[in-house]
């Protein structure tokens, strides 16, 4: 039995999320079925994260165990052939140690959120970014975001469906930058609560519009109450950007 690590890119639009669901297509199901078609084996695919419906990935890390002898190159080529025309691509396949685990070996995760700040409708970016038509102050958003960095109780920014044992997380980085009409928010942490990034982005958007101040954002955090949340951003602009492992080089997520 050989353990393979897969690096996966996908458009989350057509899927109910990463994890298998009884009521619709998922990325996990699509890849597991592709592996079965190639190898004749039923496998379980484990991932570094579980993205919601409509959320995308630039480099999701996953693994599965396969008994059949197959080279990493042939595996990735075969999977990509079987996955067409679904918007899922295996960027890389590699053999890893038998005790390597996509979820439990992961020591850091990076999410990226993209806002297109313009009045004209989205065409090429439709479904892949959140359109905000009123002007946003990215500098004010970045300054306010620094109040969320560090170890906090993020109950306010946690979905009521979150299954994490504790709402306390350490946010290592939350940066906001503008490039033309695009505003990019990047968040780094060992792990995140369900909807944490989308909830933080939604509130930062209120800061950018001038409806909230940095003090309002800090007050929402300190409230430790989901009712204090200003806004939950839509899934369209959210991307799982990178998973970090002890033996990896510093990840270099794509710039979009």
Catalytic residue, chosen from 11, 52, 188, 247, is 52
Asked if 114 and 239 count as a contact pair (C-beta separation under 8 A), the reply is: yes
d(CA 203, CA 140): 12
d(CA 232, CA 18): 20
**Measured CA distances, 154 to 3, 185, 213 (Å):** 35, 18, 18
Question: Which residues are CB-neighbours of 121 under 8 A, at least 6 positions away?
Answer: 131
Burial 168-197 (b: 16+ CB within 10 A, else e): ebebeebebebeeebbbbbbbbeebbbbbb
The encoded tokens of residue 93 equal: 């396949």
Bond before 85 cis per omega within 30 degrees: yes
The encoded tokens of residue 78 equal: 């075969």
d(CA 223, CA 228): 7
d(CA 75, CA 88): 15
Asked if 159 and 55 count as a contact pair (C-beta separation under 8 A), the reply is: no
- 52 annotated active-site: yes
Residue positions annotated with a catalytic role: 52
């Amino acid at each position: 039995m050989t353990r393979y690590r897969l690096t996966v890119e996908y458009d989350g639009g057509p899927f109910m999320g990463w994890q298998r669901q009884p009521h619709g297509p998922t990325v996990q199901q699509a890849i597991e079925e592709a592996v079965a078609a190639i190898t004749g084996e039923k496998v379980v695919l484990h991932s570094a994260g579980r993205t919601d419906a409509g959320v995308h990935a630039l480099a999701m890390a996953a693994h599965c165990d396969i008994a059949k002898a197959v080279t990493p190159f042939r595996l990735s080529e075969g999977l990509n052939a079987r996955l067409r025309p679904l918007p899922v691509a295996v960027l890389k396949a590699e053999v890893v140690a038998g005790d390597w685990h996509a979820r439990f070996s992961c020591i850091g995760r990076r999410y990226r959120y993209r806002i297109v700040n313009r009045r004209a409708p989205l065409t090429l970016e439709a479904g892949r970014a959140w359109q905000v038509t009123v002007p946003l102050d990215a500098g004010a958003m970045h300054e306010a975001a620094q109040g969320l960095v560090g170890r906090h109780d993020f109950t306010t920014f946690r979905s009521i469906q979150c299954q994490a044992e504790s709402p306390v997380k350490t946010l290592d980085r939350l940066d906001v930058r503008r490039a033309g009409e695009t505003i990019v928010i990047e968040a780094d942490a060992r792990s995140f609560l369900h909807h944490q990034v989308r909830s933080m982005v939604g509130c930062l958007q209120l800061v950018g519009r001038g409806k909230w101040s940095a003090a309002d954002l800090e007050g929402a955090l300190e409230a430790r109450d989901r009712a204090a949340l200003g806004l939950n951003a839509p899934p369209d602009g959210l991307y799982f950007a990178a998973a970090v492992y002890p033996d990896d080089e510093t990840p270099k997520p794509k710039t979009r």
